[in-house]
Amino acid sequence: MSELVSYQRNGSVGVITIENPPVNALGAGVRKGLVDCLAKGNADAEAAVLVLIGGGRTFPAGADITEFGKPMAEPDLNAVITAYESSGKMVVAAIHGTALGGGLELALGCDYRCASSNANVGLPEVKLGILPGAGGTQRLPRLIGAEAALKMIVSGDMVKASDAHGTGIVDHIVDGELVVGAVAFAQSLIDEGKPRRRISDMTVTAPAELFEGFAKSIARSARGFKAPFACIESVRAAVDMAFDDGMANERRLFVECVGSPESKGQRHMFFAEREAAKIPDVPKDTPTRDIASAGIIGAGTMGGGIAMNFANAGIPVTLLEVNQEALDKGLSIIAKNYANTVKKGRLSQDAMDKRMALISGTQDYADLANADIVIEAVFEGMELKKEIFTKLDEVCKPGAILATNTSTLDVNEIAAVTKRPEDVIGTHFFSPANVMKLLEIVRAEKTAKDVVATTMKLSRTIRKVGVLVGVCDGFVGNRMLHDYFREAQCLVEEGALPQQVDRVLYDWGFAMGPFAVMDLAGIDVGWRIRKEQAATRDKNLPYPSTVADRLAEQGRFGQKTGKGWYLYEEGSRTPKPDPEVEKMILQVSGEKGISRRAISDEEIFKRCMYQLVNAGANILDEGIALRSGDIDVIYIYGYGFPVYRGGPMFHADQIGLKSVYEDVCKFKEAQGAFWKPAPLLKRLADEGKGFSDL
């Protein structure tokens, strides 16, 4: 018997308890302990029924994913579940916390299931690029029906205990202490003469149209992913095959998914996101400041979206604007956004009213005096931001965090106008701020460690993925994006057209191509930044943004004006090629003396992707990003990089940095200074290493 699992009897009920904190992961030691304790329970003549429960804060929350791709120590989870399903005595699973993945599959191997009212269950494997591999796709459909199982398995989302009770996953909700209620429930099953109930003996029927229709319904959202469609195929086998054959099919699909590039990318992201929360010189026990109220300066699209994040988290927020008209407009847009969510059934009217009540407006800086954090979210202009921070320094209370939502500007320069630079930090939200999950947290030279810790914690409170970065032009995401956009425009001047470049990147997996992104973000944004930076630009480097500048000068700002790189019909976001833009491109190419040529899809992909990678290597070398995985997290959550590709730095590792470096050198020879290989890229390529080795 393993010390990770224990057995004791409570009256005539044998209780098997898993003790593998923090989440009772089903590693090798736990699996062995489960089998050993089951044998002990079956051998206990005084035990009429057995209860399986998790110690600590949760029922097993899944398998040990560090074992993926490695030889599985015996017994594997399938063998454990088979043992419980074949137990000589009835087994009742008692669920609290989260029964996820292998944890729920283990519970499905029991005869009955009870749960605490605040428990959650789910099969989230699809989010790691795999499918449930221990009978989840075979037992769950047999228990609750194929359609309900499809929705749960393919989404990977958690289900509340009350809903699980409604579908039949859970047989009984326990109020009060779980172990007491579970023992009583198990005893009642025996007292009432309830039969054994093996899910594998059940059958399920469903028409073929169900699976075909379901696959079509997710075709767009699951584009490029392998696991969701493997899940559908495996659930279909529960209908079409005998249980053992369905299990063999599930195992085949599971092995295929685990070894797939898509799953490797998704698993990399799973770990990278968790690593991003760890700051080497800011330990976990660093004290944090209380954030009970917030102030936002600027009620535009960005400021309003940021305010919604705080209201959604139950934090009162004061929104400041310079005039009443702008303030009223900002508040009305917030109300409209919430109302649309209510209309779609994703928010109740009562919840909307409570959130709106947390948002107040003002034109007076004095009303920010007691805010715990104030975030400036105005136009990207250094002088304006300095003026605002000078005012904040005067009115905000000691200890308040002063944050700037700048996307490119020097946070050190902004902090320097205050008498408390240690309280200043960058919080770069992404638009729309109430939707996008990424938050680049910009640490300035004098930012205090507790301010870093507090802001990282706050990112989780407002349901963002916070990634700490250093100060440079554009930080991590926009600095890399600048090179990516520039290269896309060079390709257009040399012979490609926007629609070809966008198609190549979209087909590879990006949510949008670079020109569609520019139209969405607003061509005027980059244009204004370029004008502001004109005085400090390196005059020895070519300046390829001529076409973008001309578009902006003509008022073609993108989707918001109906014209940009593409044309947009009223009420539509679908880009349509514009002959006028093509004429403009040809004209610029001619003015620059460029002989246009046919450019292959492969060249387009490599030049855009390797600009991201090369810029990322420089960023790592300079210490602007702590880890290559942090860059991957930024690009997936902030820039539409496909999660199943694992991020630009991970993808470069998969290609091999020697190959990437050789191509970068070739592009430098053909294209010039913008393709200077990053020293880190060369060093790792020469050493036969990857970014993950740093």
Q: Which active-site residues does the annotation give?
A: 105, 125
Closest by Cα among 434, 439, 463 to 452:
439
Structure tokens at 206: 């469903």
Give the gyration radius of the chain's Cα atoms: 28
Q: Which helix (H) or strand (E) holds 269?
A: helix 261-276
Q: Tokens in use for 645? A: 């590709």
Residue 282, helix vs strand vs coil: strand
Report the distance separating Cα 175 and Cα 182, nearest Å: 10
Which structure tokens are listed for 236?
A: 């279909």
Q: Where are the alpha helices (H) located in 522-564, listed in sequence order? A: 523-533, 546-553
Q: Are 61 and 103 in contact (CB under 8 A)?
A: yes
Question: Which residues are paired to 373 by β-bridges?
Answer: 294, 401
Measured CA to CA, the distance from residue 435 to residue 400 in angstroms comes to 26
Cβ(267)–Cβ(648) under 8 Å? no
Distance, CA of 409 to CA of 543 (rounded, Å): 20
Beta strands (DSSP E) in 77-160 are 91-95, 98-100, 112-116, 120-122, 159-160
Tokens 């729309």 belong to: 432
Helix or strand holding residue 340 (H, E): helix 324-343
Whole-angstrom distance, CA of residue 693 vs CA of residue 137: 36
Of 639, 596, 643, which Cα lies nearest the Cα of 495? 596
Handedness of CA 316, 322, 328, 329 (dihedral sign): negative
Closest CA to 90 of 41, 140, 143: 41
DSSP string, 152-214: HHHH---EEHHHHHHHTS-SEEEPS-HHHHHHHHHHHHHHTTPPP--GGG------HHHHHHH
Which two tokens mark 307?
């305010």
User: Which pair of structure tokens corresponds to residue 473?
Assistant: 């032009």
Burial of 341 (0-12, 13-18, 19+ CB in 10 A): middle
DSSP three-state, residue 59:
coil
Which H helix or E strand runs over 30?
helix 28-43
Tokens of 83: 């043992």
Tokens (6 digits) for 509: 């997996």
Q: Residue 687: CB partners within 8 Å, gap ≥ 6?
A: none
Q: Are 588 and 493 in contact (CB under 8 A)?
A: yes
Please report which residue ranges of 419-544 form alpha helices under DSSP H.
449-461, 477-494, 498-508, 514-521, 523-533
